[in-house]
Amino acid sequence: MTAPEPSPSVAALRARFGDAVVRHRVSCGDTIVWVRGERSHEILAWLRDDPGQAFDYLTDVTAVEYRDAELPLEMVYQLRALARRADLRVKIELDKAAPLEVDSVCDLWSGANWLEREVFDMFGVAFRGHPDLRRILMWDTYAEGYPLRKDFPLRGHFSRSEQTRQALAANPESHYSLEELSLAETYHEIPEDMRERLQRGEHGEVA
């Protein structure tokens, strides 16, 4: 049985970016290509803009943390070229010992905005250049960490009663931004850092 053919994009990527393409693999007919994090934005921009690639649709941005502690955390970009009807999965390995940071692709695909916020919320990956990086599923004052990390206990870090107490102490309006609320009554009750972000015009930055 012959090994399944990878997507022609892999060869094109290797020819153009050389060492920045770490390895590739075909799994269930899908081509997965691992690239270096420091050049990820450049590579993804090229995949979007090169006429031969034309991956104009970003299906999903997510992350994977493996059970084995020595394996790195992986960022996953699922790309689709609508006109060519072709798919490509791009992965970036992030060393868990270092700060988890990667370039945002919001400027390439606007749809990445909420997807990256979800990855930040669940895994704690910070996206450089994201226009509004804050939690999206958990509330802004959530203090227990990043729920989908492997070192996060299933029931959370705090006890049930502490979780209930914090939840009941919360002001439901403070879960949302002023834009989402459309009324500014609770402005003085929202967290300090959120208020500061809103004053800057709803645009956060990664330090």
User: Could you tell me where the DSSP H helices lie in 31-140?
Assistant: 40-49, 112-123
CB of 30 to another protein, least distance (A): 30
Enumerate long-range contacts of 76-80, CB under 8 Å, 24 or more apart.
77/44, 77/105, 79/44, 79/47, 79/48, 79/55, 80/55, 80/56
Pick the closer one to another protein by CB: 59 or 141: 141
Residues 140-199 that bind another protein (CB under 8 A): 144, 147, 152-156, 159-161, 163-172, 175
Q: Which of 86, 138, 181, 206 binds another protein (CB under 8 A)?
A: 138
Binding residue count for another protein, defined by CB under 8 A: 23
Helix (H) or strand (E) holding 10: helix 8-17
Sole window of 20-28, 104-112, 137-145, 182-190 interacting with another protein (rule: CB under 8 A): 137-145
* Cβ proximity to another protein, 1 vs 168, nearer residue: 168
What is the closest distance, in whole angstroms, from the C-beta atom of residue 94 to another protein in the complex? Answer: 23
100, 94 contact by CB (below 8 A)? yes
Minimal distance, residue 70 CB to another protein, in Å: 26
Q: Which two tokens stand for residue 153?
A: 């206990």
CB of 3 or CB of 154, closer to another protein: 154
Q: Are 44 and 37 in contact (CB under 8 A)?
A: no
| Minimum distance, C-beta of residue 130 to another protein, in the bound complex (Å) | 22
Site string for another protein, 97-136 (x = CB under 8 A): ----------------------------------------
Asked whether the CA dihedral 172, 174, 180, 183 is positive or negative, the reply is: positive
Minimum CB separation of residue 161 from another protein in Å reads: 5
CB of 89 to another protein, least distance (A): 28
- Is residue 186 within 8 A of residue 170, CB to CB? The reply is no
CA distance between the termini of the chain: 51
Q: Which amino acid appears at position 171 of this protein?
A: N
What residues line the site for another protein (CB under 8 A)?
138-139, 144, 147, 152-156, 159-161, 163-172, 175
